[in-house]
Amino acid sequence: MELAGVDYKLKNTRAAKRELLAALELDPHDAYTREFLGTLYFLDGNLEAALKHWNSIEKPRLRNVSVQPPAKLDPALLQNAIGFNAPQILSSDALLGAEARLDNLGIYPHPRVELAPAGGGNYDATLHLPERDLWGDTWWEGALSWLSGLPYATVYPAIYNLDHEALNVTSLLRWDSEKRRAFADVSLPLLHESKYRLRFYFDGRDENWNLTNTFFGAGPVLSDLNVRRVAGGAELRSVVSGRWSWSTGLEVANRSFRNLTPQAAVAGRSFFTGGNSLTYWARVDRSLLRLPERRFTVDGSAEGRIGREFANGLGSFGTARGSLGAHWFPQAKGDDYEMQARVRAGESFGDVPFDELFQLGIERDNDLWLRGHAGTSDGRKGAASLGRRYFLTNWDVDKNVYGNGFFTVKLGPFVDNGAIADSSGLFGSERWLWDAGAQCKIRVLGTMTIILSYGRDLRGGRDAFYGTVVH
């Protein structure tokens, strides 16, 4: 503890923390060490780590809790989401729970809790909650979000916090002649509880696929497959705590296929038969490891789907998916450097329709990105490898290179690795796929991110340039 005091006076807070952590190994219940260590993390802006140590000595006790700017959301619903108030002690579980419930409302993209000493050992808590309201914080911010997809023939109409009840309507309209799509999503808190969110959605697609290099059936190549799909469903999500949540849902879909060759229609009957289907799914998301002192987290998810095809001769199908993701800020404060790694795997069984196959490649309607493999060819989907079983890893590092009040720019390398297969032999990749490259993330007004990437297929020698917007 004495060495920690010397290091702190020398402004070497990293060494001071190291000495204090060593002191805790000798006496885990020493109040002075806990207070000193929590204060150092508090000065770093690492509130979760500070609370971890302060809570053991019944700190910090709240004198006041306020929201800035003043919220337009119904006050009772907002307080239900925050969950803590004066004069209670703010715990790390309460902090994480509040962040998870505020995120579940869908109108607070970047909530932040700030503590300020208030005398007498008490603290004032200020929740900084820039709120999406109707079109956005301002009309021009809403217009920017709506029109951000114009370079690829897409608009994103959205209205938030209708009637001040966190009732949100988001949508997507794409008029690209090769992959038309109309999507709408309506969500709201269930039973006026922020931890429950009920969502209804509609998704209609009319897409042209070029499967010249990804379908291995006999006969002429499938270079002009037309896929039409209309689906609608409902989902319920529950935030149990700041460390885990679950969701469940039901979907009804109708699909049809045009321009099929006779050979493909016979060989791929289970994939290319049109008709109706019913699917049920359940998902769990869990925080598996949190090391706030190291600013390191590991999260996991698991999802299961069961469905049935009602076309004559077809039957049931199912899917199991899982993922592990690690997130690390190497420095004690700020986000100058950021590292992420993710491992995902999945497998489908039974009469899986074509539109339910996994695909490894970079494309806007697909989240299994291999960033050196383009998901489209001349605007048509089908360039990415398809299959019923996949394994994928993604690793990337971001470095802040520029920032002002309007936008921030991050640059960094990435490495992707994956494989995909199908027991039918009609789809899949013949070998492991390796991609490497660099990407640029431009965060605009804290509401949307422009992603520009260059990836190279290390085995095939092909390049992929890609750009999209993430809201």
For the chain, the distance separating the N- and C-terminal CA atoms, rounded to the nearest angstrom, is 47
Number of Cβ atoms within 10 Å of the Cβ of 284: 16
pLDDT along the chain (471 residues), means of 10: 91 92 91 94 94 94 94 95 94 96 93 90 92 76 85 94 95 96 97 96 97 89 94 98 97 95 86 94 97 97 96 90 98 94 97 94 94 94 95 97 90 97 91 96 86 94 92 81
247: nearest Cα among 298, 202, 304:
304
3-state SS of 159-223? EEEECCCCEEEEEEEECCCCEEEEEEEEEEEECCEEEEEEEEEEEEEEEEECCCCCCCCCCCCCC
Backbone Cα Rg of the chain: 25
Contact 344, 309 (CB under 8 A): no
What's the whole-model pTM score?
0.92
What per-residue confidence (pLDDT) applies to 143?
82
In angstroms, the CA 86 to CA 138 distance is: 32
Q: Which two tokens stand for residue 380?
A: 């048509």
User: What pLDDT is recorded for position 119?
Assistant: 83
Strand order in the sheet with 122-128: 61-68, 122-128, 112-119
The upper half-sphere exposure of residue 460, i.e. CA atoms within 13 Å in the direction of its Cβ, equals 19
DSSP code for 356: G
Which amino acid is present at 406? Answer: F
**CA separation for the pair 20, 3 (Å, rounded):** 9
pLDDT of residue 225: 95
pLDDT of residue 332: 92
Where does residue 245 rank: exposed (0-12), middle (13-18), buried (19+ CB within 10 A)?
A: buried
- Look at residue 137 in the predicted model and tell me its pLDDT: 66
Could you identify the residue written with the tokens 């009637």?
A: 163
Does the bond joining 60 to the residue before it have cis omega, within 30 degrees of 0?
yes
Structural domains in the chain, sorted by start: 2-128 (1.25.40.10), 139-470 (2.40.160.50)
